[in-house]
Every structure is written in structure tokens, then in C-alpha cells.
Amino acid sequence: MYTIINIYTESRSLDSVVNKLKKMEEVVDLYEVTGDYDVVAIVRSKNQKDLREFIKNKMLRIEGIKGTNTVVILHVAKREGKEVED
């Protein structure tokens, strides 16, 4: 199961937050972005329970994260420029 987590950080903590997220095995992709959020993390988990535990017990314990918005990916139609077969 893949999830997109949009992360809002304290501006002075951006580098620290990114460095901590980079070390987490659940985070498979990590981007600094412009717009409403500062960082976008693509997270892989086995199920919703594991995702909840990751967010609650790991991600939200990182100092400097002010808030998140989580989007669960229901279906992947195309990845890295190639169509994905069901």
C-alpha cells in the first residue's frame, strides 16, 4: 500500500525533518516542494494499521513537523512513464 503524505514544517526545521525522513525505510520517495506544503513523502506500508503506527509513532514525533495531509493511493494506472497492468 502506497500513501502520499504532504508535510508542513517549521521553516527553520526543514533540513532536519528531511534528514530524519530520509532514514526511515517506510519512506520510499521524498520531495521538497513549493505550495501549501514543504515536503511530500511517498510511504509504503503493509496495511492501514501499519500506516497509522508509522504516522503516529514515527513521523509525528519528528520535531519541526507542524502538520500533515495523508492521501491513500487506491490504484496506480501509470508509474515512471509506463502503464501499470492490473
Distance CA 6, CA 16 (A): 16
pLDDT tens, residue by residue, 16-66? 999 999 999 999 999 999 999 999 999 999 999 999 999 999 999 999 999
- CATH of the domain spanning 2-83, picked from 3.40.50.2300, 3.40.640.10, 3.40.50.720, 3.30.70.920: 3.30.70.920
Phi, psi of 69 (to 5 degrees): -135, 120
Domains in the chain: boundaries: 2-83
Amino acid letter at 33?
V
Q: What is the pTM of this model?
A: 0.92
